[in-house]
Amino acid sequence: MTIFTLIVAIFNLLLLSKASSTDTLTISQSLPDGTTLVSKDETFELGFFSLRNSTNRYLGIWFKNIPIKTVVWVANRDHPLNDNTSKLTITSEGNLVLLTKNRTVHWSTNTTTKPRRPILQLLNTGNLVLRDDNNKSNNKSFLWQSFDYPGDTLLPGMKLGWNRKTGFDRRVTAWKNWDDPSPGNFTWGITISNNPEMVLWNGSFKLHRSGPWNGVRFSGAFAGSNSLTTHPLYLYKLINNEKEVYYTYTSTNKSVISIVVMNQTLLSRQRIIWIPENATWRLFQTAPRDICDTYNPCGSYANCMVDSSPVCQCLEGFEPKSSENATDLSQGCVTSEPWRCRVKGRDGFRRFVGLKFPDTTNSWVNRSMTLEECRDKCWENCSCTAYANVDVRGGGSGCSIWFGDLVDLKVIAQSGQDLYVRVADSRTVNSQDVHADAKDHRKKIALLVGTTVPPIVLVILLAIVYHYRRKRKHEGENVSVKKDEAGGEVDSMELPLFDLATIVNATNNFSTDNKLGQGGFGPVYKGVLVDGQEIAVKRLSRSSGQGLTEFKNEVILCAKLQHRNLVKVLGCCIEEEEKMLLYEYMPNKSLDSFIFDSAKSKILDWSKRFHILCATARGLLYLHQDSRLRIIHRDLKASNILLDNNLNPKISDFGLARMCGGDQIEGNTNRVVGTYGYMAPEYVIHGLFSTKSDVFSFGILLLEIISGKKNREVTYPYHSHNLIGHAWKLWIEGIPEKLIDSCLEDSCILPEALRCIHIGLLCLQRQPNDRPDMASVVVMLSSDNDLLQPQEPGFLIDRVLNEEELRFRSQTYSTNELTISLLDAR
Ligand SMILES: *[C@@H]1O[C@H](CO)[C@@H](O)[C@H](O)[C@H]1NC(C)=O
Ligand SMILES: *[C@@H]1O[C@H](CO)[C@@H](O)[C@H](O)[C@H]1NC(C)=O
Ligand SMILES: *[C@@H]1O[C@H](CO)[C@@H](O)[C@H](O)[C@H]1NC(C)=O
Ligand SMILES: *[C@@H]1O[C@H](CO)[C@@H](O)[C@H](O)[C@H]1NC(C)=O
Ligand SMILES: *[C@@H]1O[C@H](CO)[C@@H](O)[C@H](O)[C@H]1NC(C)=O
Ligand SMILES: *[C@@H]1O[C@H](CO)[C@@H](O)[C@H](O)[C@H]1NC(C)=O
Ligand SMILES: *[C@@H]1O[C@H](CO)[C@@H](O)[C@H](O)[C@H]1NC(C)=O
Ligand SMILES: *[C@@H]1O[C@H](CO)[C@@H](O)[C@H](O)[C@H]1NC(C)=O
Ligand SMILES: *[C@@H]1O[C@H](CO)[C@@H](O)[C@H](O)[C@H]1NC(C)=O
Ligand SMILES: *[C@@H]1O[C@H](CO)[C@@H](O)[C@H](O)[C@H]1NC(C)=O
Ligand SMILES: *[C@@H]1O[C@H](CO)[C@@H](O)[C@H](O)[C@H]1NC(C)=O
Ligand SMILES: *[C@@H]1O[C@H](CO)[C@@H](O)[C@H](O)[C@H]1NC(C)=O
């Protein structure tokens, strides 16, 4: 120890006390009642204060420049001082203490490390820190900091949560009441598990859960669609690693003060923002927001939907637990049929979209597993009731599985996630994209599709209309399914699984000679089985992101659709990387090979064409309405209408979009499937599809059959219209008969043909709601009732979807034909 070091030390001391005269307290100083410490930027102030009617004195921190005294931290919250004679000092041990007049220690930070030269500083963040001024290399680490002991306010930069190594937990605790800052029963913290979430507690009762973190936000949080998403006032995150798990947020604009406080009178957590012009705090967000945001209002397996009546509804496949009173959901719901765990062919998972994930108390997480592995893991464990992706980024990853009853479920249309819930009926495995509030929430689905999830992702469909019971006759490689009563024809149907060798043999190893064509999702080959039966084999491209079980179940579902105007599915082959569908073989190929061919078009006279139109309409109606599943075809076009020996039409490729996972938000491909030139405007532009988009495609098919021209390939000398535009023009000019194919001149029954054009234009109206449904189309085709006047159709001109737009959606043309898949830009 030399004179020199002493001089340096004194010099430092002088320098320091000069530079930070107000924000720092050294060991030789004290802060008596009536004086304050102010942060360098003058945002925060530390001092003694009393509350309204009480004479108790507290040491605390508040905003210096906000006229409404807003205390954000209290040191001695449960040890009030009873007069104004105390002072704050630092002891030689490095403890921060409150000393009363007779020099007894009233409150202490109880620091254990002994520093050389402790100083106290009030930082610009509002953090009061005690650190060793002797250790310059260590000026970031603190001996003690007020941020580790939050009061009822979470300031930007504070951590809410755990140090996993030491077990130290930081929670925000409301005051007992507005005159007493001591810790109340209302607290906010993080549950410590490998699937943490934020929880608000009233004592030991949960009041609200945030839902687990999904990589972007909490599962229960609104994604929001307002301007605040694009210009947020604050950014928040959940850090979760081996060392720590905590929530924190930062302000994006330093001049906007936004904090989170606990309001114990309402038992609500409130984010408030200071409005300087009006000198008030404005309430910005609260939690819980509504009844469905409180903890588990509906009981297990029940979904809370705040806009519905009743608010609570059992998940599809579940029924109210109390059987006497079906509207009483206070006890939650139970599975309609008992689960039969690990029995082959039993127990599947139904996908519910748009949900806040259930309570994670009994859950387990693995971040590296795929969704498929996750399902298998869940299927094997008899107490596993649901699974889901952990992280939504990059199309979803990781595995989260739940054990025991699923509680605190709710629908968050805008930002909810997919949850796969165990159901007793294996046929529903991942196939029913049941929107969690399927019943009367079409609008929400549209909203969901239109505004949140990438516009092109299409979710959904199909609610099983009836939950029907069935008995399984047989379990084995062949999956046996009992036909529903409405279908009637066959009592029980088996879907054979063919092995790859059989198919390779039948198609002559997929030789090009056997290739019948190339459709969406893959090429089609002709094959002959050993018994001489001719088949068509659709070899699906390998890229489809769907799992095998889902695929198989989709095929089984579609194989059950039997109608004389649908191509029969004979079986499938799933082996290694291959997925193939076997159809009955149609020697006459497809409709487009007739109507667009100058020679063959003569074979189809008017009565045959009219028959094809009516029969196709009936096939489509069956898909839309009469089958138990509601199938939206999504790629109806002349090349998908096959003709049998008697020139009866059969719709093919139905359900492919489902089978190939076109509706799934799995992997990275959220594809719009369909064929440019047949797709409805709302589908091309917004990715919205419905039975009405199929009606639109049917309208085009109808005009093509009558005119013998392809929608996209028509060019007219004086205008840039496509076939639709041309038909509309002729219609307005009062000469629709000019549309009729010249080769029909002799056979045509003019009123019938004109009526068809009229119906076609009704199907092509721009607004989906204006278009008739297929049931009306079938009626219109077979009767001579008056028809409404059509509104202007969508897509008069072919260039609605311009190059720019296509590039934006990074399109890929999957075939030489015009079947396209639009990949959504992320
Ligand atoms: C302390 O309180 C007494 C009366 O209670 C008052 O007269 C005095 O001014 C106060 N002193 C300070 C420093 O606030
Ligand atoms: C203070 O106490 C009186 C009497 O108990 C009460 O009337 C008054 O409203 C209280 N003031 C505040 C600000 O709480
Ligand atoms: C010091 O004062 C406090 C009240 O301010 C009292 O409770 C305590 O007993 C006193 N201690 C001594 C040693 O006088
Ligand atoms: C410090 O320790 C004392 C005695 O163990 C305890 O009463 C007090 O609450 C502690 N102070 C803090 C701030 O934890
Ligand atoms: C300064 O702090 C660092 C990091 O905490 C520590 O390793 C070092 O020993 C300290 N130096 C002194 C002189 O206390
Ligand atoms: C902390 O130390 C770094 C260099 O080690 C220095 O740049 C910084 O100003 C110091 N901060 C404070 C608050 O002393
Ligand atoms: C806090 O909980 C305790 C016991 O659980 C209860 O006696 C007390 O009244 C509660 N306090 C408040 C403010 O609710
Ligand atoms: C909170 O807990 C208290 C006491 O434990 C109880 O009286 C009160 O009803 C609870 N409030 C809510 C909203 O659960
Ligand atoms: C920050 O907020 C202030 C006050 O509302 C505003 O004037 C300023 O433009 C904002 N700055 C930024 C970068 O948004
Ligand atoms: C608690 O919340 C209510 C409703 O927002 C509000 O009127 C009241 O001022 C809040 N109390 C405090 C102290 O913030
Ligand atoms: C301030 O208050 C006035 C009237 O109450 C209101 O019209 C205005 O929008 C407020 N300003 C802000 C920034 O909230
Ligand atoms: C059934 O339960 C509901 C909700 O608890 C109740 O409002 C209704 O009166 C009950 N009905 C019968 C018949 O008990």
Scored b (16 or more CB within 10 A) or e, 334-359 reads bbbeeeeeeeeebbbbbbbbbbbbbb
Task: Find the CATH number of the domain harbouring 23.
Answer: 2.90.10.10
Q: At what angle do helices 750-763 and 723-733 cross, to 10 degrees?
A: 120
Return the ligand 8 atom nearest residue 186 CA.
1
- Total structural domains within the chain: 5
Residues with CB under 6 Å of ligand 9 are: 253, 255-256
Task: Find the CATH number of the domain harbouring 498.
Answer: 3.30.200.20
Same domain, 676 and 711: yes
Q: Which amino acid is at 86?
A: S
For residues 15 and 6, give the distance between their C-alpha atoms in angstroms, rounded to a whole number.
14
* Sign of the dihedral defined by the CA atoms of residues 117, 118, 119, 122, in that order: positive
For residues 325 and 247, give the distance between their C-alpha atoms in angstroms, rounded to a whole number.
42
Q: Are 572 and 566 in contact (CB under 8 A)?
A: no
Residue 459 lies in a domain: no
Distance 281 CA to ligand 10 centre (A): 10
Element (H, E) at 592: helix 592-595
Task: Find the CATH number of the domain harbouring 200.
Answer: 2.90.10
Residue 441 lies in a domain: no
Return the ligand 9 atom nearest residue 254 CA.
1
As beta bridge partners, residue 320 has: 333
Residues with CB under 6 Å of ligand 10 are: 178, 263, 265-266, 283
pLDDT of residue 543: 55
**Nearest residue CA, atom 13 of ligand 10?**
263
For residues 426 and 10, give the distance between their C-alpha atoms in angstroms, rounded to a whole number.
80
Select from 179, 185, 205 the residue to mutate for testing ligand 7; criterion: most ligand atoms less than 8 Å from CB: 185
Residue 108 Cβ contacting ligand 4 at under 6 Å: yes
**Nearest residue CA, atom 2 of ligand 8?**
202
Same domain, 644 and 746: yes
Scored b (16 or more CB within 10 A) or e, 95-132 reads bbbbbeeeeeeebbbebeeebebbbbbbbebbbbbbbb
pLDDT of residue 683: 74
Same domain, 758 and 804: yes
Residue 249 lies in a domain: yes
Structural domain harbouring 317:
292-435
- Cα dihedral value 665, 667, 669, 673, nearest 10: -60
Chain position carrying tokens 């020139």 = 647
Residue 443 lies in a domain: no
Q: Which of 552, 585, 618 is the last residue of a domain?
A: 585
Residue 526 lies in a domain: yes
| 779 SS3 class | helix
Distances (CA, A) of 44 to 37, 60, 340: 8, 10, 62
**Nearest residue CA, atom 13 of ligand 12?**
325
Same domain, 351 and 218: no
Residues with CB under 6 Å of ligand 5 are: 135, 137-138, 141
Q: What is the pTM of this model?
A: 0.59
Task: Find the CATH number of the domain harbouring 704.
Answer: 1.10.510.10
Distance 32 CA to ligand 1 centre (A): 12
Distance 300 CA to ligand 10 centre (A): 33
As beta bridge partners, residue 49 has: 58
Distance 288 CA to ligand 8 centre (A): 15
**Nearest residue CA, atom 4 of ligand 11?**
278
Same domain, 144 and 187: no
pLDDT of residue 222: 67
Same domain, 632 and 704: yes
For residues 94 and 763, give the distance between their C-alpha atoms in angstroms, rounded to a whole number.
82
For residues 531 and 107, give the distance between their C-alpha atoms in angstroms, rounded to a whole number.
93
- Within 13 Å and on the Cβ side, how many CA atoms surround 683? 27
Distances (CA, A) of 323 to 84, 310, 785: 65, 17, 49
Residue 279 Cβ contacting ligand 11 at under 6 Å: no
Ligand found nearest the CA of 146: 4
For residues 754 and 727, give the distance between their C-alpha atoms in angstroms, rounded to a whole number.
11
Chain position carrying tokens 């079938």 = 778
Same domain, 617 and 712: yes
Q: Are 772 and 762 in contact (CB under 8 A)?
A: yes
| 77 SS3 class | coil
Residue 440 lies in a domain: no
For residues 653 and 656, give the distance between their C-alpha atoms in angstroms, rounded to a whole number.
6
Select from 102, 103, 107 the residue to mutate for testing ligand 3; criterion: most ligand atoms less than 8 Å from CB: 102
For residues 708 and 739, give the distance between their C-alpha atoms in angstroms, rounded to a whole number.
9
Two structure tokens written together for 721: 């219209």
For residues 513 and 511, give the distance between their C-alpha atoms in angstroms, rounded to a whole number.
5
Residue 471 lies in a domain: no
Length of the chain: 826
Contacts of 424 (CB under 8 A, 6+ apart): 317, 335, 336, 337, 338, 339, 340, 346, 347
Same domain, 114 and 159: no
**Nearest residue CA, atom 14 of ligand 10?**
263
Backbone angles phi, psi at 628, to 5 degrees: -65, -35
| Beta sheet of 234-240, edge-to-edge order | 168-170, 160-163, 244-251, 234-240
Select from 277, 281, 282, 284 the residue to mutate for testing ligand 11; criterion: most ligand atoms less than 8 Å from CB: 277
Active site residues: 635
Return the ligand 6 atom nearest residue 137 CA.
5
Same domain, 348 and 419: yes
Same domain, 800 and 660: yes
For residues 751 and 763, give the distance between their C-alpha atoms in angstroms, rounded to a whole number.
18
Q: Which of 263, 284, 305 is the last residue of a domain?
A: 284
Same domain, 92 and 42: yes
Residue 582 Cβ contacting ligand 8 at under 6 Å: no
Same domain, 484 and 373: no
pLDDT of residue 23: 85
Ligand found nearest the CA of 152: 10
Distance 808 CA to ligand 5 centre (A): 55
Q: Are 450 and 682 in contact (CB under 8 A)?
A: no
Q: Taking the chain (826 residues) in consecutive chunks of 10 residues, what is each chunk's mean pLDDT?
A: 53 43 82 92 94 91 94 95 92 90 91 85 94 72 92 96 94 94 96 91 94 88 52 85 94 91 94 93 88 90 81 85 66 84 76 89 93 90 92 87 93 79 66 37 31 30 28 29 28 62 87 80 84 85 63 75 85 81 87 88 90 92 75 85 89 75 35 65 72 91 91 56 84 90 87 92 91 90 86 65 36 31 31
Distance 152 CA to ligand 2 centre (A): 23
Distance 321 CA to ligand 12 centre (A): 14
Residue 202 Cβ contacting ligand 8 at under 6 Å: yes
Q: Which of 547, 566, 585 is the last residue of a domain?
A: 585
For residues 94 and 217, give the distance between their C-alpha atoms in angstroms, rounded to a whole number.
40
Two structure tokens written together for 233: 């006032």
Residue 5 lies in a domain: no
**Nearest residue CA, atom 5 of ligand 7?**
203
**Nearest residue CA, atom 11 of ligand 1?**
84
Q: What angle do CA 819, 824, 826 make, to 5 degrees?
A: 160
